[in-house]
A = this chain, B = another copy of it.
Amino acid sequence: MSTARPVDGLEQRLRRLGADRYHHRHPFNLRMHEGLLSPDELRTWILNRFHYQRHIPVKDALILSKLGTRELRQSWIRRIHDHDGVPGEDGRPAQDGGIERWLRLGEAAGLQRGLLMSGEGVLPAVRLAVDGYVNFCRNATVLEAVASSLTELFAPDLMTTRIAAWERHYPWVEPEGLRYFQMRVGQGRRDAEEALALVERWTRGRRADENLALEAVAFKCDVLWSLLDAVERAGEKAAEHARGPSDAV
């Protein structure tokens, strides 16, 4: 009787990586969901995360340009519409996208959309993290670029936790503002399924290719984690400043 442990499949390995490195474990997210953020901290996060949100269609257009068949592109292009929205046409009403919903989240939390659109106040480390992600999608192979989207496997659970936490702890944020998170539960599940099927088709159980996919997801986890590191540090600096000059010179 063999006692050898069966080799884990790609999805198991991805889920283990996510459990370890996805930003649901970041201290800033933990504090957010425990209700411990001040309104200013929450707004700093919304403003900086918007810089990430507005670049999602850019990275998806770069991935689109790497997909070699119209069938693959016909499916992936939906992600761009999901974030940019679709103008009304031929009697069909306009559809808001994720960027519009994020602007409304900002307004619901007291941030003017003009400020978010201006990019003012975006932290340098956040710009670098987002640039890094976009450039990864620009320069990596199609396998790695698509795999980097697989953090969506873990996003719906985070969104569900977040919606409940915000309703409970931050009632001053108008409920309409949570629409972005609500929409992403379903969209994220569908996007994750699509990307996982592609990555499984392209790797076909070859360990070396699976490792490339896992490294891409690890990189993406680092992007998300770095963004929160920067926002967290900005909050600490602001708190230090508010306390006034310390003993240290």
Bitwise, A73-113 to B at CB < 8 A (1) or not (0) is 11001001101111100000000010110000000000000
Given the contacts A64-B64, A65-B65, A80-B64, A70 and B58 also touching, CB distance less than 8 Å:
no
User: How distant is the Cα of A229 from the Cα of B1 in the complex, in angstroms?
Assistant: 69
CB distance from A134 to the nearest CB of B (A): 8
- Contact: B61 with A86, CB < 8 Å? no
- Contact: B84 with A80, CB < 8 Å? no
In chain A, positions 39-78 with a C-beta closer than 8 Å to chain B are: 57-59, 61-62, 64-65, 70, 73-74, 77
Q: Which residues of B contact A74 (CB under 8 A)?
A: 84-87
- Contact: B65 with A61, CB < 8 Å? yes
- Contact: B81 with A57, CB < 8 Å? no
Q: Number of A interface residues at 8 Å Cβ cutoff, please give it.
A: 22
Q: Which residues of B contact A138 (CB under 8 A)?
A: 65
Q: Which residues of B contact A65 (CB under 8 A)?
A: 58-59, 61-62, 65, 138
CB distance from A18 to the nearest CB of B (A): 27
User: How distant is the Cα of A80 from the Cα of B83 in the complex, in angstroms?
Assistant: 17
User: How distant is the Cα of A84 from the Cα of B97 in the complex, in angstroms?
Assistant: 22
- Contact: B87 with A73, CB < 8 Å? no
CB distance from A153 to the nearest CB of B (A): 24
Closest to A65 in B: B61
- Contact: A73 with B77, CB < 8 Å? no
Q: Which residues of B contact A84 (CB under 8 A)?
A: 70, 73-74, 77
What are 20 A-B pairs with beta-carbon distances under 8 A?
A: A57-B64, A57-B73, A58-B65, A61-B61, A61-B62, A61-B64, A61-B65, A62-B65, A64-B64, A64-B80, A65-B65, A65-B138, A70-B100, A73-B80, A73-B84, A74-B85, A74-B86, A77-B77, A77-B80, A77-B84
Closest 6 CB pairs of A and B: A61-B65, A61-B64, A70-B84, A62-B65, A61-B61, A58-B65
